[in-house]
Structure 1
Amino acid sequence: METTGIAARAEGLWKRYGSGEAQVTALAGVDVALRSAEFTAVMGPSGSGKSTLMHCLAGLDTVSAGEVFIGSTRVTGLRDAGLTALRRDQIGFVFQQFNLMPTLSAQENILLPLTIAGRKPDMAWFDTIVDTLGLRDRLSHKPTELSGGQQQRVACARALAGRPAVVFADEPTGNLDSRSGAEVLRFLREAVDAHRQTIVMVTHDAGAASYADRVVFLKDGQIISELAAPTADAVHDQLKSLETSGDGR
């Protein structure tokens, strides 16, 4: 597989849970390459394996067979210390639940991964992120003093603060109203367009997926189609086709 300009990739990726008759196959021989400076959405019916794929790519879950790479680093060969360093230095995460530290201010939350890593923040980059996300007047606020949309924007800023090779976003708008969700998606889009960031987003929302450059569709643990330059209508039609062609696992 050509790897130039590839931020993350999986080759022959299998993930099984349990054993014997109770064994469940979540991923069945997935091959996928996620290009640098591109916004990729991962979609599929409930239980299709989309979150499992993201967790395996990000080194949050072990694989049953196959290989995963972040850039040129073989994730599947790393021990715990190597995985910790990889996730700290090369990967950013945005989760549906925000996962902010309640006792820290917004600024402290944004800089927390760098603080833990003992890395000095690039304050010019920090200022760019904060101003792009409209968080300048919220930096001293604790999470409980912020709206859901503001908390998720803080989480996005935290994910990007260290300039990671790739940001994985798991249903980042799932807990937001439509206006706040659109703000977060516009920022992710701008992070790709203006700052050459690489974003991989799992979502069930066709509107959210329309912000991406490419949508990868899974069903029964396999990639069955892709869609470039997606529109919400085209994504919706593809999802409807998947769901009516048999139940996803």
Structure 2
Amino acid sequence: MTGTIAATDIAARAVDVWKVYGSGEAQVVALRGVNVELARGRFTAIMGPSGSGKSTLMHCLAGLDSVTRGEVYVGDTKLTGMSDRQLTELRRTKVGFIFQQFNLLPTLSAEENILLPLAIAGRKEDRQWFDTVIDTIGLRDRLGHRPSQLSGGQQQRVACARALVSRPEVVFADEPTGNLDSRSGAEVLGFLRNSVREFGQTIVMVTHDPNAASYADRVVFLADGAVVDELVDPTADAVLDRLKSLDVAPGPDLTKKPA
């Protein structure tokens, strides 16, 4: 289903990945032999109905969950078989995260929240890179504000900057516009799109929204725990048509792509 990408151009990949929860009659197979390669410097959206395994796949690729069978790689680093300590170190140095809930610490300023991953890792920030990221998200005048003083869209842009400031190999975004209105969602998606175009960042985003997916270079569709289709250079209409062919009801239209 997916094309072959040169090994040096792969940011993350799953090889015959299975994820099974429970046993006996309570057993749930979340992923069924998934093979997928995610290209470096590209924006990939993962879509599918509720229960299709899209979030499970992202969590396995990001080292947040283990696989039952198969192998997962970030770059050329094999996650399968790593200890909890090794996985923690990998997530700290090679992976960035953006969640639907912004996960900002309320007592810290925007700048302190952005720099928190570097502080935890004991790494000094690259001030030039920090300035580049801040200017791109357009919140320089809000760096001293705490999350409660920022709008939802501003908080999510702070979370995006936090994910990018450590220059991760790949950023995983789980429904990043799910709690935002259409304008704020479009701003966040535009920022993610620009981070790929201008910085060569790799973004992998789980979403239910065809308009959000239209910002991606490629959409991978899951159903019943398996990769069933993909779409390159998607439009919102093309994504919607593909979802209909999978008999999938799309979520609400949260993010209109600006002209």
Give the TM-score normalised by structure 2. Answer: 0.93
Q: Displacement, 1:135?
A: 0.8
Which of residues 124, 127, 130 in structure 1 aligns to 2:131? 127
Are 2:170 and 1:166 equivalent residues in the alignment? Answer: yes
Amino acid at match of 2:121: A
Identity percentage of aligned residues:
71
**Following the alignment from structure 2 to structure 1, what is the Cα–Cα distance between the partners of residues 144 and 193?**
26
Are 2:225 and 1:221 equivalent residues in the alignment? Answer: yes
Which of residues 48, 55, 76 in structure 2 aligns to 1:51? 55
Amino acid at match of 2:247: E
Q: Displacement, 1:77?
A: 2.0
Which of residues 237, 241, 244 in structure 2 aligns to 1:240? 244
**Following the alignment from structure 1 to structure 2, what is the Cα–Cα distance between the partners of residues 38 and 167?**
11
Unpaired runs of 5+ residues, structure 2, are: 250-259
Aligned to 1:64: 68
Compare 236-245 and 61-70 and name the one that shifted more.
236-245
Amino acid at match of 2:60: C
**Following the alignment from structure 2 to structure 1, what is the Cα–Cα distance between the partners of residues 174 and 76?**
23
Unpaired runs of 5+ residues, structure 1, are: none
Correspondences of 1:133-152 after superposition (within 5 Å): 133-152=137-156
Aligned to 1:40: 44
The 3-state SS of whatever aligns with 2:125 is: coil
Are 2:29 and 1:12 equivalent residues in the alignment? Answer: no
The 3-state SS of whatever aligns with 2:243 is: helix
The 3-state SS of whatever aligns with 2:80 is: helix
Which of residues 26, 33, 45 in structure 1 aligns to 2:30? 26
The ranges of structure 1 where at least 4 consecutive aligned residues each deviate by more than 6 angstroms after the TM superposition are none
Asked whether the equivalents of residues 45 and 242 of structure 1 are also in contact (C-alpha less than 8 Å), the reply is no
How many residues end up aligned between the 2 structures? 245
- Superposed CA RMSD: 1.0
Asked whether the equivalents of residues 48 and 248 of structure 2 are also in contact (C-alpha less than 8 Å), the reply is no
**Following the alignment from structure 1 to structure 2, what is the Cα–Cα distance between the partners of residues 42 and 208?**
11
Aligned to 2:256: none
Give the TM-score normalised by structure 1. Answer: 0.97
Which of residues 186, 197, 202 in structure 1 aligns to 2:201? 197
Q: Displacement, 1:119?
A: 0.2
